[in-house]
């Protein structure tokens, strides 16, 4: 059987779910073709809505690649729903091929997805997709398979889920062998074979010392998360897999073996990113084992994501010695009310302690990046000010990643918002919302400034006083603060460009200008 897997992806084309499926299905003797469609097709309108649509030549390339398939699989998250619909309709306009959707959004909203797909895979898909292909090859019915919902006689067959895969070492490594891998080439606006040279071009670049950039490879060492945040799909997945061990970890030797395989195949990789929700969910003993083996057999600098409750001095000591150079940590909010709403009850003092501990490892590590969530419809000005106060207590330097809260279907916050009639148009407010662009309110602008090391904290303390917030934190002023933020960002770009010029780093300037030119086109 020949399976074609397609996914609209972020620009880094990690697509771990698809790559895991591909690797697993290949071990069952089937042919797999992977098509990665990174979001070079995004266009932002004045309302900051996300409009996803592929050019006709891209769709023609996808249709041609799907021609000889026995099954089409499309993996998607909620923000890529429109893209998945467009791809499915394009393929079905030419061929009578069965299409199965899987991933986060189909798991949460299978009925909606079956308006477009023939089948939906819920939850983990390796075993389900393998069994589906087996039945198709043998001409057997596909309506009674666990994890698979399917159309039948005008209705829908709804099946339960099989248990979570507990032994992650039993799975093959993510499929990065590039065999039958295709991707949009941003230079040609066509879907082409993914060669090592093109793979090198589109791999993400991560910041390194002296403001240089390193070619980066990302991987996951676990599945699941130790936390139960109300804005995250993990809160939904925990319900459908209730009673099972949700956080599962690959063994250290398994992770190291994968990294060795990838770095041998692609020697241009300079930095590793362990993309787990919180890498430090591992015990201190596991961190010690990982650090010792990684330092001996890999030795490349690496990045991790952490949470304040999992960090400790002992863990950091091991990891920094092994090559840890960058940490991202989720703070999300400094408001006690919002913490309770998010099911993140870590005290601000614990957050500051964790940040202070990270700061102690300067200059061995780069300045960390902290994450906060803005545009919460339940928050008042006082809540946002509490977050700003917490940020201003963090040791400098650091950078700040600001997200606009999206009330994704299936999450506890979505259910609360529906009960309170806070969602009027799901298409615009959820499916097509740009979570990377918070609104341009006065307080959001101050939080933006708080993440800029060149802006004095004492000024922030002055301008964040209630008398200023009461006057300036109004919708009528948002255009002004949007303009101020754009101006500040332009200034930062000029400063970075000047630094690169003084260092003689013309390559970085060329890369930035080319990326911006491609984006505008």
Residue 492's pLDDT is 80
Give the residue range(s) of CATH 3.40.50.280 domains in the chain. 2-170
**How distant, in Å, are the alpha carbons of 122, 230, 321, 442 from that of 237?**
10, 12, 36, 36
Joined together, the tokens standing for residue 238 give 């925990």
Residue 50: name the closest of 39, 59, 58 by CA.
39
Give me the phi and psi of 121, to 5 degrees please.
-105, 125
Mind listing the pLDDT tens digit for each residue in 378-433? 999 999 999 999 999 999 999 999 999 999 999 999 999 999 999 999 999 999 99
Stretch (H or E) spanning 174:
none
d(CA 351, CA 391) in angstroms, rounded, equals 10
Query: Residue 13: CA atoms inside 13 Å, Cβ hemisphere, count?
Result: 23
Mean pLDDT of all residues belonging to the chain: 92
Among positive and negative, which fits the CA dihedral 447, 453, 454, 460? positive
Spatial separation of the C-alpha atoms in residues 57 and 42, rounded to whole Å: 16
DSSP 182: E
Instruction: In whole angstroms, give the CA distance from residue 466 to residue 381.
Output: 9
**Which part of the chain has CATH 3.20.20.70?**
203-376+393-438
Tell me what the mean pLDDT of segment 181-202 comes to.
Answer: 92
Pairing of strands 2-9, 71-75: parallel
Binned at pLDDT 50, 70 and 90, residue 10 comes out as confident
Residue 509 has pLDDT above 60, yes or no: no
Domain at 203-376+393-438, CATH class: alpha beta
pLDDT tens-digit map of 211-267: 889 999 999 999 999 999 999 999 999 999 999 999 999 999 999 999 999 999 999
| Helices and strands in the chain, H and E counts | 21, 20
Question: Which residues, other chains included, contact 45 with Cβ-Cβ below 8 Å and sequence gap of 6+?
Answer: 51
What the block records as the tokens of 465 is 């006083």
Using alpha carbons, list the distances in angstroms from residue 220 to 77, 153, 237, 257: 18, 40, 18, 13
Tell me the C-alpha to C-alpha distance, in Å, between residue 131 and each of 85, 95, 139, 336.
Answer: 25, 23, 12, 47
Q: Give pLDDT, residue 186.
A: 79
Residue scoring higher pLDDT (50 or 491): 491
> Is the pTM for the entire model greater than 0.85?
yes
User: Angle at the Cα of 141 (from 114 to 136), degrees rounded to 5?
Assistant: 85
Is CATH 3.40.50.280 correct for 2-170? yes
């Amino acid at each position: 059987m020949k399976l074609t897997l397609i996914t609209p992806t972020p620009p880094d084309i990690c697509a771990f779910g698809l790559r895991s499926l591909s690797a697993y299905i290949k071990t069952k003797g089937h042919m797999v073709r992977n098509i990665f469609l990174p979001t070079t097709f995004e266009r932002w309108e004045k309302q900051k809505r996300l409009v996803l649509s592929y050019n006709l030549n891209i769709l023609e390339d996808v249709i041609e690649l799907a021609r000889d398939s026995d099954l089409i699989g499309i993996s998607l998250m909620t923000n890529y729903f429109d893209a998945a619909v467009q791809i499915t309709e394009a393929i079905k306009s030419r061929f009578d091929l069965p299409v199965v959707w899987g991933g986060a959004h189909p798991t949460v909203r299978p009925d909606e997805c079956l308006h477009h797909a023939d089948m939906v895979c819920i939850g983990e898909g390796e075993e389900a997709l393998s069994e589906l292909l087996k039945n198709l090859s043998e001409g057997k019915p596909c309506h009674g398979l666990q994890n698979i919902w399917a159309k039948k006689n005008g209705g829908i067959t709804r099946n339960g889920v099989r248990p979570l895969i507990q032994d992650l070492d039993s799975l093959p490594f993510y499929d990065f062998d590039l065999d039958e891998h295709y991707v949009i080439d941003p230079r040609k606006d066509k879907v082409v074979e993914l060669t090592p040279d093109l793979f090198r071009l589109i791999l993400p670049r991560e910041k390194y010392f002296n403001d240089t950039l390193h070619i980066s490879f990302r991987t996951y060492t676990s599945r699941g998360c130790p936390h139960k945040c109300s804005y995250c799909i993990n809160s939904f997945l925990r319900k459908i897999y209730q009673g099972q061990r949700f956080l599962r970890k690959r063994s250290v030797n398994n992770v190291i073996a994968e990294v060795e395989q990838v770095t041998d195949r692609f020697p241009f990789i300079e930095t590793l990113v362990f993309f787990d929700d919180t890498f430090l969910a591992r015990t201190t003993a596991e961190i010690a084992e990982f650090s010792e083996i990684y330092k001996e057999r890999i030795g490349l600098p690496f990045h991790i994501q952490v949470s304040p409750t999992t960090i400790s001095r002992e863990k950091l000591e091991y990891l920094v010695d092994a090559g840890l150079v960058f940490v991202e940590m989720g703070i999300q909010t400094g408001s006690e009310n919002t913490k309770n709403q998010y099911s993140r009850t870590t005290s601000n003092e614990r957050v500051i302690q964790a940040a202070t501990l990270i700061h102690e490892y300067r200059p061995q590590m780069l300045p960390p990046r902290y994450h906060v969530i803005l545009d919460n419809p339940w928050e008042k000005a006082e809540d946002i000010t509490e977050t700003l106060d917490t940020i201003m207590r963090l040791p400098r330097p650091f950078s700040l990643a600001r997200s606009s809260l999206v009330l994704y279907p299936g999450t506890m916050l979505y259910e609360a918002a529906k009960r309170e009639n806070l969602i009027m148009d799901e298409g615009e407010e959820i499916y097509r919302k740009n979570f990377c662009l918070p609104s341009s309110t006065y307080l959001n602008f101050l939080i933006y400034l708080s993440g800029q090391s060149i802006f004095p904290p004492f000024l922030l303390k002055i301008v964040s006083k209630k008398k200023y917030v009461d006057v300036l934190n109004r919708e009528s002023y948002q255009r002004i603060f949007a303009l101020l933020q754009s101006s500040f960002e332009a200034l930062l770009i000029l400063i970075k460009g000047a630094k690169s010029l003084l260092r003689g780093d013309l390559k970085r300037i060329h890369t930035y200008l080319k990326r911006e030119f491609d984006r505008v086109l």
